[in-house]
Amino acid sequence: MNTPSQHAKRIGILVVFVLFITACGGTNAAPPISDADTVASLVASTLQAVQAQATPTLAATATPIPASPIPPTLPPTLPPATFTLTPLPTLPPATRVQFQTGATLAVITGQIQPGQTLNYVVQAAKGQPLVALLDSPNHDTKLSITGADGTALLSAASGLSNWEGLLPATQDYYIQVTGGAAAQNFSLNVTIVARVQFGSGETRVVVKGSTVGGYAVSYVAYAAKGQKMDVILNIPGDKAALTVWGFEDGIPYARAQTGTKDVSLDLPATQDYIIEVVPQAGQVIEFSMTIRIK
């Protein structure tokens, strides 16, 4: 049970609180307080009024902002790819020229009708000299030469029956023989010259071979103007001889008809030099040949 002093103290605290609230609410004078119960009632009503006047706390509401649609990143528009196709040349059916082992010359013979075209094909390496000679009784057959890549070395429109030159690529070469005004026999000689290979720092090389089929065997060596070239043919007896000529200038510097087997030249021009071992009367001769360029 509360004592009178505790009850008085509690009333005093409530009176102070009520006076404070009333002062904050306005300037009206507070009604007289008669007893503790009255004070309690006044405090309760005053708290209720203060609570009613308090500003309510509003709940924050987030208003969603519509997301701006971001267009997808598209790759740049590229022009359509274009391709240039190079048509391959149409190659005719052809008879492959067959060389005997160790031979550099092949001879094709046959008969050709007026205006007929016969096709032959031979494979050779880049930088090799090719010599083609066509002959017929009427001398009106024509020759043309085309690489498998479409490169024309000799056109039939030129009306020629022979051609020689360095081949531009390692590939097949098509040789066409076109007939003349009448049916006739023909002879086509195809020579692919073997290039002489010198060792690094070497000025001398020895080659050995045979006049296969009784045909001449041809070699080529490149040399510069002012150099000296010596060629010595070693054979039993006098059954073969040497022919030497410049591939670019076409000048013969030695002839087999003279029977020479030893050639010494101060070279007059920078070019390829063709060296031929020519057997007599179509004999098959084993030979050894020394070539020196210095």
DSSP code per residue over 92-116: PP-EEP-PPTT-SEEEEEEEE-TT-
Beta pairing partners, 175: 120, 145
Q: Above 50 in pLDDT, residue 21? A: no
Query: Which of the 8 DSSP states describes residue 73?
Result: P
Whether residue 244 has pLDDT greater than 50: yes
State the Cα–Cα distance between residues 10 and 2, nearest whole angstrom.
10
Q: Quick one: pLDDT at residue 71?
A: 55
| Statement: the pTM of the whole predicted model exceeds 0.95 | no
- The whole-number pLDDT of residue 79 equals 65
Across the range 49-68, mean pLDDT stands at 48
Mean pLDDT of 139-150: 96
**Mean predicted confidence (pLDDT) in 198-202:** 92
- C-beta atoms surrounding 180 within 10 Å: 19
Res 15: pLDDT: 45
The H or E element that residue 152 is part of is: strand 152-154
For the chain, what are the domain ranges? Answer: 4-45, 95-192, 195-293
- The CATH topology of domain 95-192 is Jelly Rolls (2.60.120)
The fold for domain 195-293 equals Jelly Rolls (2.60.120)
Say how far apart CA 125 and CA 96 lie, in whole Å: 16
> For residues 157 and 193, is the Cβ–Cβ distance under 8 A?
no
Q: Does residue 59 register a pLDDT over 50?
A: no
Give the type of residue at 227: Q
Total Cβ atoms within 10 A of residue 277: 26
